[in-house]
Amino acid sequence: MTDFCEIDGTWRTGSLIFDNVQVYNCSQADTYKAAIRFESAMGAYSRVSNSTVHNSMAWSVSVFRSNNVVLTDSYFIGSVSIGVHIDFVKNFTMTRTMTADVMIRVFKGFNMVDKEACVAICTYMVD
């Protein structure tokens, strides 16, 4: 979910309301592209509730440079590297939410250490 500015200067704000949704085997491997993603969503209110994200190929949820987001009563299970990513946010709430089974990202041919966390709060991105 991202706000968007049209070529004529019109500002478009969006809102995502996810309730009782199952997301399975989503996201993009070896990227920051999470199964549920909020990037530069500054205007409207968004909410993910009573939902499950599982077996992601990368991150489950990313809230980056966004405002007015609520994650509640949801499960984020079986992601790679990061379960829930929260960075540069305002008016963000996460309640009664479980993140589990975050797996190591496998780099083929590289001897690298990767960041890992069930919940990464203001620690992943550098501004």
pLDDT (tens digit, 9 = 90+) per residue, 70-124?
999 999 999 988 899 999 999 999 999 999 998 887 766 666 666 788 888 887 7
Residue 101 main-chain phi, psi, to 5 deg: 55, 50
Name residue 22's beta-bridge partners: 52
Q: 35, 43, 97, 32: which is closest to 66 by C-alpha?
A: 43
Whether 5 shows a pLDDT value over 80: the answer reads no
> How confident is the model at residue 120, as a pLDDT?
85
- Give the residue extent of every domain in the chain: 4-121
Stretch 22-48: mean pLDDT: 88
pTM comes to: 0.84
> How confident is the model at residue 27, as a pLDDT?
87
Instruction: Quote the tokens at residue 99.
Output: 């993140």
> How confident is the model at residue 126, as a pLDDT?
66
Stretch 31-56: mean pLDDT: 90
